Structure 1
Amino acid sequence: MMKTMKHTGKRFILSSFFFIVFLCILASINELRFDSLLEFSKCALSYAPSNSSFGNNLVVKPSSDEIRVLIGILTLPDQYHRRHFLRLIYGTQSPAGVKVDVKFVFCNLTKEDQKVLVALEIMRYDDIMILNCKENMNKGKTYTYFSSLPEMFSTSDGPYPPYHYVLKGDDDAYVRLESLVESLRPLPREDLYYGYVIPCPSMDPFVHYMSGMGYLVSWDIVEWIRDSDIPKNRLEGPEDKIFGDWIREGHRGKNRYNAKWSMYNYPDPPTRCTHELRPDTVSVHLLKTQEKWIKTLQYFNVTQNLKPSKLYHIP
């Protein structure tokens, strides 16, 4: 009887021991599976597409070859409604792999209401540049814009150049950022002069100059404008033509790009500088009315990425 009880006790102890070992092994396996699953989940989240619900929160480190573009839109201090409208236009464009900053550029403020309202805009949007000049169209505003940029943006701890390209634009032009960036990718980043060649029938960028609807230069030309006496001694006159004269007299812009016909004037009324809207457009100029803006935006289907929501219904 006693022997039977001893054998039974030994079997119980052995069974209990092996059962405990089994539980430990099972727990280890489950822990391993959980850790593996956790690591897989982290990996999956890290490489989630940027248009996913959680991917938008990821910070993507820009590559070393990221293109940096500054777009300065020359306008007037009192054009509040135009600036708010253009913020919608440019704020809903997000080309990948590029840094594009859009700034509104005008001369010194002259009214008390401007000092309050423009200051509020700067506090809210931080997208305004106030130049040290008296407001003008063809008496040096363009020179002040370009020549002021190196001091404004060059820093010892930032990238050099702060921008590879600088564009001067008008507030009646619609620049499609993705198309602009794609046209810039294969181009040189030095000694570049880019735009719509004048006169309208011309296709040779070395004969005359780029239209004021919007032209772009590389950063080294911006620094040259600041340092050279050629622009300083010739400030007055049609700004786009005068700018072209600087480039020619200074033997700059050896790399030139004629963006015609991806840049053009709005087709109504038709002239030698216009044609119908087209898909590969970089810029449409002379959008002087709300109707022209709406027709242009409809053509390019700018609201196609509007997300469905219970909060609104837009047929």
Structure 2
Amino acid sequence: MLPSSSLPATAGTMHSLYGHTMGTSWSVKLVAPTRLDTHALHAGIQAQLDDVVAQMSTWEPDSDISRFNQAAAGTWHTLPEHFWNVLNGSLEIARASDGAYDPTVGPLVAAWGFGASTGARGVPDDAVLSAIQARVGWRRVAIEDGRCLLQPGGLQLDLSAIAKGYGVDCVARFLRAYEIASALIEVGGELYGYGRKPDNEPWRVLVESSPGEEADDSVPRVIGLGDLAVATSGDRWHWFEQEGRRYSHTLDPRSGLPVEHAPAAVTVIAANAMHADAWATALTVMGVDAGFSFAEQHDIAARFVVRGDAALQERMTSRFEDRLSA
């Protein structure tokens, strides 16, 4: 059994833990008794994230997802729990977004030189793209009870746009099981907070903005995270330029092409980080107008940062505005 630390949040001390995972960093701020065994807690958090990497990292040749992607056609594979959970979550969002988010986007990511691909970034030939498109599509994913997944041949899953958020959720569940009453968890910019700080204030975070670019009349956007997650996606992190044209790393699985005029950033607030992470990607793929309309219609708390002629501009759904701290 793990040691108990179930005192109310306001009765504890703030502890901060840090580490590395998924090619980025993680941090946890938590409220617990002063004599908490932070070494055991740190090891437990790292183990949660290591499990996500071992099951779903396309950068690791021996991960469960890499082995599935390389498997022979017609073979069935029993997936470990985390992989199964994320795959089902990804199919749910693929269906709801009409394919704007798609877990089978792996071949496209490689063709454009992004992700774990060792190829150079560049525009692939039309013939190559056409052949790849025949291998992409979330409806090709066949699953059965017992966590069984079929490799129909050439199917390459890429869960990078959802697994990091799921890792945040895994850490949150671990901390709750450890009876930590209050924590703020961050993995590579994706966050989840629950409980309150020692001063009885909620965890508050500043919504990401684009470095070196400021929105018109920019006002810091602060969100209180009480059992809520926040994730940000956009084209400002990875892109390349060819013949004077900018190509985003955000690919539209439906066309096989980078999203044109992609938002600089899309931030989503949700009940868990897995959904926030994936919906931020889906709305980015939809684009500013369609994505904003979809988010409003489906009651998604989303903020779009858009490049204008001279500066960035922002659009927030009504649900996002409701979440802003006073």
State the TM-score bracket (shorter-chain normalisation).
Answer: under 0.3
Between structures 1 and 2, the one with greater strand share: 2
Between structures 1 and 2, the one with greater helix share: 1
TM-score (norm 1): 0.24
TM-score (norm 2): 0.23
